[in-house]
Amino acid sequence: MDTTSSCEGFSLFLLFLQLIILPLVSASTDTINSTQRISDGETLVSSGGTFELGFFSPGNSTNRYVGIWYMNLTGTIIVWVANREVPITNTTGVFLTVTEPGILVLINDNNNRTIWSSNTSRTVQNPIAQLLDSGNLVLRDASDDRPENFLWQSFDYPTDTILPGMRIGWNFVTGLEVYLRSWRNNDDPAPGEFRYHLDPTGYPQILLERGSVPQNRVGPWNGIQFSGTMDAREDPTYFMSFVMNEKELYYMIPSNNRSPLSRFSLYHNGVMQNLTWVDGRGWVVYVNVPADICDTYGLCGANGICNVGNSPSCGCLDRFVPRDPEGWFRADWTNGCVRRTNLSCGGDVFRRYSGIKLPDVRFSWHNTSMTLQECRAECLRNCSCTAYTQLDISRRSGCLIWYEDLIDIRSVSPNGQDIYIRMASSESDSERMNRKLLIASLTSVIGVVLISLSLFLCILKRKKNDLKMRGGLYDGSQPKESDLPLFDLSTISKATNNFSINNKLGEGGFGPVYKGILEGGQEIAVKRSSKDSMQGRDEFKNEVVFIAKLQHRNLVRLLGCCIQGEESMLIYEYMPNNSLDVILFDETKSMLLDWEKRFHIINGVARGLLYLHQDSRLRIIHRDLKASNVLLDSDMNPKISDFGIARRFVGNETQAKTRRVVGTYGYMAPEYVVDGLFSVKSDVFSFGVLVLEIVWTLYKEDRPLDLVDASLGNLFHFSEVVRSIHVGLLCVQKNPEDRPSMSTVVMMLGNEGVLLPQPKQPGFFTERDVLAAHTATSTNAANSTNEMTITMLEGR
């Protein structure tokens, strides 16, 4: 006999006996225990008579649900629903009760089926369910009413309404996130399209999303309130508390006895309202979101600012101009604004902008102990830093730094904040005011300047001669020593344990790569030129010239170089998770990459390429983008690496031709393989291959459930997967002109509402196709034959 089945059957039998003898609950009670039940027609009423729990039918629906609503008010306002995804079509024999282990269950007695359960894991001897006067339904031990000992509470699983005393945010210990999800419509409380939550990425802020696309954003917490909201010091009824530490992150509107009947509701159309009950007037809207057009997320594009008092509402920040003037004239602000004077990194200044809602902080960095001056210095040291501000305005401490374009700024004077945005030195007001004084000062010290200049040229000439003696790897485009530190050979040798084989990370066309640790404890990756490498000298020169001038969170950072004797080495930041291919194509390690991480990598690589093609001081074509050239830091953030064969475009140049085709077969665009033509669109092709590769490996590993299992709540993941595949196919179209730019790719990946065009024929070539085409080219036009150096992609 199966003992397990017998025990399970006996337990079910005891539960059945318990349920059939349950007495009906009194209509005046706020509590039920394991010997009581609530059927359709009975209710629980909180002790103060504020809230009621029972069965209801929403709107015009005949389906029945268990929910909580306000008692004795005009109209039924549902604030919580238990079985929102499992409607009851026949209420006969259906009831809510508490089982002995301590679980709140909604049961259909006709078929012994559990319709809904609290899924409580902890048990007590005498469990009860109680409806509190706050609207919170709690499950606890009858002798212990301390909130910290509740077995379960409805406040941890809200539907579309926030009540005073409810926490919105995260418990990092249990992994629980408390957030709102709208109803599907007025007749169906099932989860709808809109989600309201506290996003912890970068620095905490409130996001209202439709699927995965932001619709509205409340700025980051500034020590008093969320940036851009009403100043809590002006109206204490709207006071919020905010908690952020290693264990939890949440905000809460505390209960206020003077105004107990208030709620914050997310409706099925994406509108949010903060309402208060006023006798004689009913529900009065206190806050409405969106309140105006400027509440639309990212309406004015990057570096744009929205002011509802202006016409049109969108404008560029002072000292910025539209990136697309024609589109701006048509009220198409998608492309946003750019600085009218390009940054120079070394000589930049900061301009203060006041009275604004701080921009999106998902790509930001913060420090709670820095002063504002220390924050400025930190931002100035990093060429990728675009702006900074004070983190906590109540204590006048802390630092918040942005590293990318500033998105979703609006004017909210007088409740706005100050932000300090990086500008070229020529844009400084003090620069203009002191120009005459500067000219006068220069006149008086012209002699000293000439002497200093002569000395500088002499030193520079000697340094160039010295570098030529060290291998002839530099030319007039080399970076200054201040841009790229030079390391002694002894320092690098010591850091790598004399280039021990145990420190070796791998080897490429340039030479071996070693892990090292400097005396200060910083981990580094050392790329050592191989004497046998035919590419080493050119690659070394290319990387020094390019990477030293590029600063972006999705590009690997070059810390310096070492040139001594015949040794030529590049010193990089160390990437703990190695390259993407090491994880992606390993059966075990690939399990670390769920879809969210993969989509994060796709977006990061896209932003890095966009920076190379459009936003950097140089227009760079990488020419060898592939999985092995995407490195991953400790948080799985992608970093594009290996600029050994990259090319720079100048002026209006958009395309070039080479007789020496170098790269990796499978990732190279067909026009590059066959004709030697390369452009930004050939990088786009390589990106498309990488995207399809990242998605494809999940299917190859028999893990499609990571992507498409709707029952696990991955509908939005599935949408992202489909969109990623679609974008990947657009990127690998045969005709370069049909492929989107990287700015368009970033927009398509991040905006679910953008309608994507249908992809045309892809430009994939088999090995035979490539060699045949190359042979034909060699035969028919020997003088234009491309020298092909192709690294074959191993079978994956």
HEC per residue, 366-400: EECCCCHHHHHHHHHHCCCCCEEEEEECCCCEEEE
Q: Which two tokens stand for residue 563?
A: 């040139």
Q: Are 52 and 45 in contact (CB under 8 A)?
A: yes
| Phi and psi at residue 16, to the nearest 5° | -65, -45
Q: Are 348 and 424 in contact (CB under 8 A)?
A: yes
Contact 575, 678 (CB under 8 A): no
260: CB partners within 8 A, 6+ apart? 50, 164
Alpha carbon distance 533, 508 (integer Å): 9
C-alpha distances out from residue 708 to 184, 595, 599, 728, Å: 21, 10, 14, 18
The angle, 0 to 180 degrees and rounded to 10, between the axes of the packed helices 680-700 and 742-750 is 40
Cβ pair 401, 376 in contact under 8 A = no
Calculate the CA dihedral of residues 207, 209, 213, 215 and round it to 10 degrees.
-80
Q: Rounded CA gap, 203 and 517, in Å?
A: 30
In the block, residue with structure tokens 């000697």 = 462
Rg (CA), the chain: 32
Query: In the beta sheet, which residues pair with residue 648?
Result: 620
Going by C-beta distance under 8 Å and a sequence separation of 6 or more, which residues neighbour residue 637? Answer: 553, 554, 600, 604
Beta bridge partners of 261: none
- Going from the C-alpha of 405 to that of each of 184, 287, 365, the distances in angstroms are 34, 29, 14
Nearest Cα to Cα of residue 599 among 611, 588, 607, 587 = 607
769 is catalytic: no
Confirm if 746 and 606 have CB atoms less than 8 A apart.
yes
**CA 261 from centre of chain:** 36
Residues in the chain: 796
Tell me which H or E stretch contains 493.
Answer: helix 489-495
Cα 235 from Cα 119, distance rounded (Å) = 40
Our CA dihedral for 412, 414, 417, 423, rounded to 10 degrees, sits at: 80
Q: Which residue is listed with tokens 């005709």?
A: 735
Task: Give the other-Cβ count within 10 Å of 599's Cβ.
Answer: 20
The alpha carbon of 765 is separated from its chain's Cα centroid by a whole number of angstroms, namely 35
Checking phi first, is residue 391 left (phi over 0); if not, alpha (psi -120 to 50) or beta? alpha
- The alpha-helical segments, DSSP class H, found in 235-385 are 325-329, 372-381
Residue type, 367: N
Return d(Cα 473, Cα 538) in angstroms, integer: 8
Residue with tokens 């604030």: 79
The single-letter DSSP state of residue 734 is S
Measured distance CA(313)–CA(324) in Å, rounded: 17
Catalytically annotated residue among 199, 624, 683, 706: 624
- Active site (catalytic) residues: 624
